[in-house]
Amino acid sequence: MPRIFVAALLPDNIKKEISRILLNADESFSGVRWEKAEKIHITLKFVGSVKNNTKDDILCKVRNIAKNTQPITLCFSHIDAFPDFRRPRVLVLRLSNSKDLHDLFTLIEDDLFDMEIEKEERNFIPHITIGRIKKGLGIKEKTLKIDKKEFLIDHIAVVKSELKKEGSEYINLGVYKLS
């Protein structure tokens, strides 16, 4: 059964900007396994393992959502850690709070709930996962320069995640342009 999630895809120039941020972050943080630029995205809904017919229904729902959703403008905010910097497991690049992105998240949650896919219990926090922490996190520098550059999200995707020894591999099952 494929393990899938729904994601907002980032423009190439923003992936390059994040790669630049990660190069600087590597000098400021230790103990982090950084994400590869091609894997960077905004998770809108983690679905998990599903049967093939359910996957096909999800592809159809997400395609319809994209047709009825305008592109969304976002902006970088700051680097953060989940659950927090005292017990970090994941480093993230937080995004400005966007009503449009929250609305898209809610629409996906509601439409997939109609298919009996459970809703997320935690609040939606707009972010991009940039690194994972296995052991301890070392912070050499408290601040990291992040340009508050605006960018446009104009594609969402249903993505399959294959777990491998060297990490996960992402395969786009369906990519849909926001109208």
17-31 pLDDT, tens digit per residue, is 898 888 878 778 888
Q: Are 133 and 85 in contact (CB under 8 A)?
A: no
Total domain count, the chain: 1
Domain with 48 in it: what CATH number? 3.90.1140.10
The structure's pTM equals 0.93
pLDDT at 138: 82
Average pLDDT over residues 56-62: 97
pLDDT at 10: 97
Tens of pLDDT, residue by residue over 90-124, are 999 999 879 999 999 999 999 999 999 999 999 99
Q: Distance (Å, rounded) from C-alpha 159 to C-alpha 24?
A: 29
pLDDT at 24: 79
Q: Distance (Å, rounded) from C-alpha 54 to C-alpha 57?
A: 5
Nearest to 32 by CA among 143, 130, 132: 132
Q: Distance (Å, rounded) from C-alpha 127 to C-alpha 121?
A: 17
Nearest to 130 by CA among 46, 7, 21: 21
Q: Which domain holds residue 145?
A: 3-177
Nearest to 47 by CA among 106, 124, 92, 109: 109
Give just the sign of the alpha carbon dihedral 96, 162, 69, 21.
positive
pLDDT at 143: 63
What integer best gives the mean pLDDT of the chain? 91
What angle, rounded to 10 degrees, do the helices at 99-113 and 52-67 form?
Answer: 140
